[in-house]
Structure 1
Amino acid sequence: MSIKTKKLINAPENIIPEFIEGLIAAYPDMLCVEGSTGRAVVAQQGPRDGKVGIVIGGGSGHEPAFAGYVGQGLADAAAVGNVFASPSPEQILDAGRAADGGAGVVFLYGNYTGDVLNFTMAAEELEAEGTPVRQIAVADDVASAPFERRHERRGVAGDFFVFKCAGAAADLGEPLQRVEELARLANDRCRSMGVALGACSLPQTGTPNFEIGAADMEIGMGLHGEPGMRREPLAPADAVTDVLMEPILRELGLNDGDRVAVLVNGLGATTQLELFLVFRRVKQILDQRSIHIHANWVGEYATSLEMAGASVTLLKLDDALTRLLDHPCRTPALTVGAAAERPVDAQRSVRKTRAIKDVVVLDRATLATGGRITPPAFLAMMRAVSVAIRAQKDWLSQLDGVIGDGDHGVTMDIGWTAVGHVLDAQPRDAVIAQTCEQMAQAFLTAVGASSGPLYAGAFRSAAAAVNTRLNLDSAALAAWIAGMNNGILARGGAKPGDKTMIDAWAPAAEAAAIAAQAGGDERAVLQAACDAAKTGMDDTAGIESRRGRSAKLGLRSIGHIDPGAASAYLTLRAMHEALLGLE
């Protein structure tokens, strides 16, 4: 029986809006909310005309990151995602528009697939509106990839230093290119390593993300509760700190007389007593090497809900970074020096809002009507998927907890629940392609994370594949399934064998096409797709992960089914069962 954790929350689905409401109420002189999504936390004394805008963001559960670093002299706005899930493009756009002072905007976020996908989509749209955008994915975790593949590393507590330096550069009036250069310099000179002693639990599930023995520790864990690079017996604080510091020192190449900034970060359930023991040992190691600590912070700065553990981050300083680190700022989570008063003549122009996109209307008279899957049947099939995903969300999250961050079932349920609301508002005879377009937007806006852009791309590609059809026959159904697969491929870049949802969608698309070409009806096409997706899902257990958060686990990912492939199979199975039920 799974152990249930206890949290002081109301309804889990309201936790983020209520968190933001409480944060703004606590710091009304520093923060406000702007934009229609309600997820863009903006500095009262931040954005101004002529200044480069600094936008940070990511999933919730890491408090005080990310909204806690919004304020004068640091970030102008933060896009707040669901727990352990990237904010959606719409939420990021609200933050980007709020931060835009006419000099360009810099997006800063951790190097995770969901964040990269969603921030990139938002950047594309903001640039289309005329705002120059630069992006930097923080990648400081030495445990997550070897040095020669450091562009694949995830961002952990190093966000703290990169955000601080970028915010100071913008506050000092540096132009966009220079702000980007300095932020990249901080990213290049920052290294982190962490240890987990216990798991965290998502508010929606109330169960630990992973299991760890009472006498064990995870070396190199991720900030979302992902398992680390290896599991070892728990050791004394000094020995653990030595393990964390060794790769950091090796990579930074620190010499006598060098200066560093140090962050000893608690992950949510680690006491100050323990954190200062770690810092004590960090200082001993640096003193032995005649390396000077210019500045240090010890406490909770980038947490993982209630995870027990800590991380150590070092930033190798030069004169430019030292100046930025020392520059005053005032935010809920960090105050450095005395922040200067906002210039009396500082102006903040009214920001542009998003233009309403034209809705493409299809001429129903030109659409092909042959086929068993009518618009009402399609709506019923999609509703069945929503119900199936909700019923299996705990299983999907359990699968994800073993090799990821444990939220796949939660995010898929959020997305399909949003889709369900769209379906409820659709006329029974709504054109299938247009329904898919609305499903795409609903999923993207509700979820963020990696699943948001991937399934939005899938629905849009599937819509394009059947936009000449009113009803779907077997060939059109196979084209729809292929469209789903192609949309995910185009946006995500994964390929079969990478241990992702593609390992279920790709064989399903191939099997559906073969069944349709052989003269099978719609039921036979879906049966073939289901069988192939089930086989593909099962086969992922024998694959080493090469994409996403689980790619950091290497061989440790073998033996576990990919949760994305599992949700793909559930989707096709629910569609098939619903179609059979309509007979």
Structure 2
Amino acid sequence: MTIKTKKLINAPDDIIPEFIDGLIGAYRDLLTVEGSTGRAVVARHGPRDGKVGIVIGGGSGHEPAFAGYVGRGLADAAAVGNVFASPSPQQILDAGRAADGGAGVVFLYGNYTGDVMNFTMAAEELAAEGTPVRHVAVTDDVASASYDRRAERRGVAGDFFVFKCAGAAADRGEPLDRVEALARLANDNCRSMGVALGACSLPQTGTPNFEIGPQDMEIGMGLHGEPGMRREPLATADTVTDELMAPIISELQLAEGDRVALLVNGLGATTQLELFVLFRRVRQILDAKKIEIHANWVGEYATSLEMAGASVTLLKLDETLTALLDHPCRTPALTVGNALAPVADAPRRTRHVHAPKAGTAIDRASLNASGQITPAIFRTMMGAVAETIRREKDRLSQLDGVIGDGDHGITMDIGWTAVTAILYEKPADMTISEICETIAHAFLTAVGASSGPLYADAFRSAGAAVSGRLNLDGPAMAAWIKGMNDGILARGGAKVGDKTMVDAWAPASVAAATAASMGLDEAAVLQAARDAARAGMEQTAQLESCRGRSAKLGVRSVGHVDPGAASASAMLAAMAEAVDWHQGDHRRG
């Protein structure tokens, strides 16, 4: 029997705007919202001319991170994504523009595929507008990769210390390069390790992301509800703390006389009673080694919805980091030093955002009209994809919950819902390449996560591949499918065998090209792509993940189908079915 969880929410799709509205209402003296997306939470007295802007962000569900650390002396703005999903480039741009005081902006976020892609795309656009941008991905989780691959590690509760130090550096008037360097120094000196005793559940699904026995625990869990690096029998608090602390102390090379800052962080459903028991043991370990705790925090600072568990984070201090840590700040979730009095609003410089370039008019008479897939049929195919993803979203999220964070079906449905909302408002005479550009924009604006930029680039690439076509025949259909694969490869960098959506799109591209070379029509080309994508998707169950959040699971990912490959297979199947239906209907007519 499927266990359903309970949450005090209204409609799941409204939870983020309602959360932001409540947060802003509770801290009207500290926070406001700027930008058209409604997802940029901005400090009322943070951004100012001549100061480096600090922008943080990531998915929701980690409260008080990220918006809770917006305020004077810390972050100037936070981009708020959907639950466990990166904010989109447009949402990040809103935050970046709000934080820009003319001295440049630093983006800070956890080292996750979706965050890296979306913040990078936003940084590229902000830089094109004339704002210098630096970005630092936090990599404090010792469990997620070996030391020699530490650049691949994910960011967990170490965000707390990196954000604090970078925000202080900017507030003290340090220049852009120096703020970036100090953020990297804090990241290099920060290590975390966590344990999970129970799974969390997404508001849209209401089911636990993974199953765990009553006498088990997950060591090295992720911050998005992912399973840990390994499962072990539940142990005592002291035993668990010893296991968490050992790799942290070893990697930081802590020795007698060193000083640290300490965070014992609850994941959402762990009591203060338990957290202070963990803190007690951490202090015993550090005292025995004569390592001084300069400052400590115990509580919920970077959560994972209602996950049961905790993490321990240490920041190894030197004089520079100590001064940054002690620098005053005032935010909803963190106040350090004397409370800062509000300051009068100062005039801000006017930012001049470049207007988007007008598209070049298309001469439809010059387009190749051979082939049965017209723009109208192509729209029908895209509508069929949207319907299929909506129908399959729970299954896709369940697949993702086993090896990831459980949101893939949800984020794909958000994207395709946005596509259908905008697509049918557009002119009926749009070409297929124009339809693809519309879909790309919808994904970028609505989705965030890794699916947003990947499918945005996929549809742009596919649209460009058939820009000279009015209709699609067999070879053009194959070119479109190849364009989808090429766009995903260019943005994500994955390859066949990494256990990603590429394992479905790449064989689909090869099969489509082969079918087209044999002179088969567009329907047969799509059928060949569909069958190859399904086989590729099924093969991912035998692979060990090398990309994305599931890569941290290693061999534990074997035996499970990749959700990105599953959604790719479902998309191609929906397209093929729509074309088959149209041809059958046409023959009947």
Which TM-score applies when normalising by structure 1? 0.99
Q: Deviations over 1:188-222 (max 9, x none)?
A: 00000000000000000000000000000000000
Residue aligning to 2:587: none
Aligned to 1:261: 261
**Which residue of the partner structure matches residue 119 of structure 1?**
119
Give a deviation string over 1:226-281, Cα, whole Å, max 9, x none.
11110000001010000000000000000101000000000000000000000000
Query: In the aligned structure 2, how far is the partner of 1:561 from the partner of 1:121?
Result: 29
Give the Cα–Cα distance (whole angstroms) in 2 for the partners of residues 385 and 229 of structure 1: 35
**CA distances 1:290-313 after superposition (whole Å, capped 9, x unpaired):** 000000000000000000000000
In the alignment, the residues of structure 2 paired with residue 452 and residue 321 of structure 1 have an alpha-carbon distance, to the nearest angstrom, of 36
Task: Name 1:67's counterpart in structure 2.
Answer: 67
Name the structure 2 match of 1:25.
Answer: 25
The amino acid of 1:547's aligned partner reads: R
Q: Residue 155 of structure 2 aligns with which residue?
A: 155
Against the structure 1 CA distance between its residues 153 and 16, is the aligned structure 2 distance closer, same or farther, given a 3 Å change threshold? same
User: What is the identity, as a one-letter code, of the residue corresponding to 2:241?
Assistant: T
**Does the CA contact (< 8 Å) of 1:261 and 1:317 recur in 2?**
yes
- CA offset at residue 360 of structure 1? 2.9
Following the alignment from structure 1 to structure 2, what is the Cα–Cα distance between the partners of residues 265 and 228?
A: 16
Within 1, Cα distance between the matches of 2:354 and 2:212? 47
* Corresponding residue for residue 242 of structure 1: 242
**Contact in 2 for aligned 1:97/1:352 (Cα 8 Å):** no
Number of the residue aligned with 1:507: 507
Query: 2:365 aligned with 1:369, yes or no?
Result: no
Shift of 1:351: 3.2
**Residues 45 and 345 of structure 2 are in contact (CA less than 8 Å); yes or no, is this contact kept in structure 1?**
no
**Structure 1 gap ranges (5+):** none
Quick one: which amino acid aligns to residue 543 of structure 1? Answer: L
Judge conservation of contact 2:260–2:316 (CA < 8 Å) in 1: yes
Matched AA of 2:191 = R
Alignment partners' CA distance in 2, 1:339 and 1:518 = 74
Secondary structure at the counterpart of residue 369 of structure 2: coil
Letter in 1 for 2:138: V
Alpha-carbon distance, 1:347 to partner: 4.1
Specify every segment of 5 or more residues in structure 2 that has no aligned partner in the other structure, as ranges. 584-589
Q: Residue 489 of structure 1: CA displacement?
A: 0.2
Which secondary structure state, in structure 1, belongs to the residue aligned with residue 509 of structure 2? helix
Question: How big is the shift at 1:523?
Answer: 1.1
1:26 shift after superposition: 0.4
RMSD after superposition: 1.0
CA distance in structure 2 between the partners assigned to 1:93 and 1:111 by the alignment: 19
Provide the rounded CA distance (Å) in 2 between the counterparts of 1:263 and 1:136. Answer: 21
- Alignment partner, residue 214 of structure 1: 214
Map of 1:290 onto structure 2: 290
Which residue identity is paired with 2:113? Answer: T
Amino acid at match of 1:365: A
The verdict on how the C-alpha distance between 1:453 and 1:497 changes in structure 2, with shifts beyond 3 A counting, is: same
Tell me which residue corresponds to 1:314.
314
Q: Distance in 1 between matches of 2:512 and 2:573?
A: 13
Q: Which amino acid aligns with 1:338?
A: N
Amino acid at match of 1:64: P
Secondary structure in 1 matching 2:510: helix
Task: State how far apart, in whole Å, the 2-side matches of 1:353 and 1:27 are.
Answer: 29
Matches within 5 A, 1:405-484: 405-484=405-484
SS in 2 for 1:72: coil
User: 1:530-549 counterparts in 2 under 5 A?
Assistant: 530-549=530-549
The 5-angstrom pairing of residues 92-111 of structure 1 reads 92-111=92-111
TM-score, structure 2 as length reference: 0.98
- Match of residue 2 from structure 2: 2
- For residues 358 and 152 of structure 1, what CA distance do their matches in structure 2 show? 39
Matching of residues 377-416 of structure 1 within 5 Å? 377-416=377-416
Q: How many residues align?
A: 583
For 1:354 and 1:413, locate their aligned partners in 2 and report how far apart those are by CA, in whole Å.
31
- Structure 1 residue 345: deviation in Å? 9.2
The equivalent of 1:230 in structure 2 is 230
Is the contact made by 1:393 and 1:413 (CA closer than 8 Å) also made in structure 2? Answer: yes
Aligned AA for 1:327?
H
**CA-CA distance at 1:429 after TM superposition:** 3.0
Alpha-carbon contact 1:379-1:428 (below 8 Å) kept: no
- How many Å separate the matches in 2 of 1:281 and 1:439? 53
Cα offsets for 1:145-198 (capped at 9, x unmatched): 000000000000000000000000000000111111111000000000000000
- Between 221-230 and 346-355, the greater mean CA deviation after superposition: 346-355
- Once the two structures are TM-superposed, the CA of residue 338 in structure 1 deviates from its matched residue by 1.7
Tell me the CA shift for residue 356 of structure 1: 2.9
Distance 1:344 1:438 in 2: 43
CA distance, structure 1, for counterparts of residue 156 and residue 286 of structure 2: 22
Counterpart Cα distance in 2 of 1:179 and 1:143: 27
Structure 1 residue 430: deviation in Å? 1.6
Per the alignment, residue 561 of structure 1 pairs with 561
